[in-house]
Amino acid sequence: MDAVDVIRTKRDGNVLSDAAIDWVIDAYTKGAVAEEQMSALLMAIFFNGMTPQELNRWTAAMIASGEQMSFADIGKPTTDKHSTGGVGDKITLPLAHTVAACGAAVPQLSGRGLGHTGGTLDKLESIPGWRASISNAEMRAQLRDVGAVVCAAGAGLAPADRKLYALRDVTATIESIPLIASSIMSKKIAEGTSALVLDVKVGVGAFMKDVDRARDLARTMVGLGSAHGVNTVALLTAMDTPLGLTAGNALEVTESVEVLAGGGPADVVELTIALAREMLEACGLGAGKDPADAIADGSAMDCWNAMISAQGGDPRAPLPVAPHQHDVTASSSGRVVRMDALAVGVAAWRLGAGRARKEDPVSLGAGVQMHAKPGDVVSAGQPLFTLHADDEARFERALEVLSDAVDIAAADAPWSKPDLVIERVGA
């Protein structure tokens, strides 16, 4: 095989053979295909797309580039969830433990935040002692004993994706749906779960801004999962408004624990239960315990406490609190009719809750606390947001992006709550 021939084939809009795909992924992972050559191939894919057969083989080659896990012997059906990322999206924290309390095993391999979207591992690392890195043996034991694991993916899982993701980031090919789908699904399939539910966010605070592209991505990923023997379903969910009332690491952990305790914001509870039911149905436990009951009877909270303890954390330890707070108040009285998720996410990032580069540290106590959401009636001077930061100098830039984040109409202005779950995409 020759890299130039592979590039030329795709550049000219032709279909890559299975052998060509296998070779180029393997050779690139091993360093035998140069970065500039793979850059050219990615751009050709960006413009010409991939057929379903090409995409299935591309994904299979990425899976084969590293280790593949299996949990067939742990005695429980496995099911997992992946979110494409949003603002205030702490759903994994209550969800994994609610599903585990219903009898499933949830091997939740998660990531860190980048830009305005938060990362599950960053949130959990605000819990004193909790560790994201555990061995495969520890993961298997914890799935048997606790039912849920939330941890970082090992370096051996789909290493081709790690290289390709970094290259896509610097070659303006991030937005390609085949490349997004293969990146997400190669890791999830290699992880070894038997069922997968995808939460594809749609709206101003999401990667996918419109429903049509989100639906295309969802259908592509569901197709990949099914082709590789993983029972896969997707929900398209709204991300014009932040989820819940917090955006920031420790702030979101606190809110997640409130949900597990039977409280918390209604939208976080609603999406947790909706995704939990899909996960249980996908792994064959849909006729068993209702996830709402697992929260109500405390078994989901018990699972959370056991997971935190098993990974070295203290579930009763106080969480980090940022030393500086600043309130943003309503400029007029009336009904809140819009709250821009992207603006809130960028504000949390500027306050220190997020990172611009993968190697940057994050502030565990920083973030944005919301005191009202669309539909609520507020009075002039009432706090809309409380900003949390380690450094007061960060408030100015956060305030800039929040200056046009909220619309307030007359108190009697018509307003209807938009659907949180927009659409279901199945195989």
Instruction: State the CATH class of domain 324-409.
Output: alpha beta
Q: Give the percent of the chain with pLDDT over 90.
A: 91
Q: Angle between the 211-227 and 52-64 helix axes, to the nearest 10 degrees?
A: 60
> 145-159, 246-260, 300-314: which range is least confident on average?
145-159
pLDDT category of residue 185 using cuts at 50, 70 and 90: very high
Q: What is the per-residue pLDDT across 12-38, written as a single tens digit (0 to 9) for each?
A: 999 999 999 999 999 999 999 999 999
Q: Where are the alpha helices (DSSP H) in 154-298?
A: 159-170, 177-191, 211-227, 249-260, 266-282, 291-296
The answer to whether the CB of 349 falls within 8 A of the CB of 115 is yes
Residue 352 in this model has a pLDDT that exceeds 90: yes
**What pLDDT score was predicted for residue 251?**
98
**What pLDDT score was predicted for residue 113?**
81
Element (H, E) at 328: strand 324-329
Left if phi > 0, otherwise alpha if psi is -120 to 50, otherwise beta: which for 158? left
CATH topology of domain 3-49: 1.20.970
Tell which residue, 368, 80, 352, has the closest CA to residue 198: 80
The residues annotated as belonging to the active site are 82, 161, 168, 183, 187
Q: What is the per-residue pLDDT across 257-266, written as a single tens digit (0 to 9) for each?
A: 999 999 999 9
**Residue 262: HSE in the Cβ half-sphere, 13 Å Cα cutoff:** 7
**What pLDDT score was predicted for residue 192?**
92
Across the range 341-361, mean pLDDT stands at 91
Across the range 88-96, mean pLDDT stands at 97
Q: What is the per-residue pLDDT across 367-390, written as a single tens digit (0 to 9) for each?
A: 999 999 999 999 999 999 999 999
Across the range 236-244, mean pLDDT stands at 98
Tell which residue, 238, 241, 246, 236, has the closest CA to residue 200: 236
The answer to whether the CB of 164 falls within 8 A of the CB of 183 is yes
Tell which residue, 78, 255, 70, has the closest CA to residue 149: 78
Read off the tokens for 28. Answer: 């690139």
Q: Count of CB atoms within 10 A of residue 141's CB?
A: 15
Residue 400 in this model has a pLDDT that exceeds 90: yes
Tell which residue, 353, 392, 393, has the closest CA to residue 369: 353
Assess whether the region 80-154+190-310 and the region 324-409 belong to the same CATH fold. Answer: no
Domain residues of the chain, as ranges? Answer: 3-49, 80-154+190-310, 324-409
**C-alpha dist (Å) from residue 52 to 15, 24, 31, 226, 424:** 10, 18, 27, 12, 21
The answer to whether the CB of 201 falls within 8 A of the CB of 117 is no
**What pLDDT score was predicted for residue 111?**
86
In whole angstroms, what is the distance from residue 377 CA to residue 1 CA? Answer: 65
Give the architecture-level CATH label for domain 80-154+190-310: 3-Layer(aba) Sandwich (3.40)
Residue 112 in this model has a pLDDT that exceeds 90: no
Q: What is the per-residue pLDDT across 51-74, written as a single tens digit (0 to 9) for each?
A: 999 999 999 999 999 999 999 899
pTM of the model: 0.95
* Mean pLDDT of the chain, nearest integer: 96
The answer to whether the CB of 279 falls within 8 A of the CB of 232 is no
In whole angstroms, what is the distance from residue 365 CA to residue 369 CA? Answer: 11
Tell which residue, 13, 11, 3, has the closest CA to residue 43: 11
Residue 219 in this model has a pLDDT that exceeds 90: yes
Residue with tokens 């992207």: 342
**C-alpha dist (Å) from residue 314 to 24, 96, 311, 363:** 46, 18, 9, 19
Q: Sign of the CA dihedral 241, 243, 244, 250? A: negative
Tell which residue, 125, 152, 151, 134, has the closest CA to residue 313: 125
**What pLDDT score was predicted for residue 358?**
75
Q: What is the per-residue pLDDT across 270-322, written as a single tens digit (0 to 9) for each?
A: 999 999 999 999 999 999 999 999 999 999 999 999 999 999 999 999 999 99
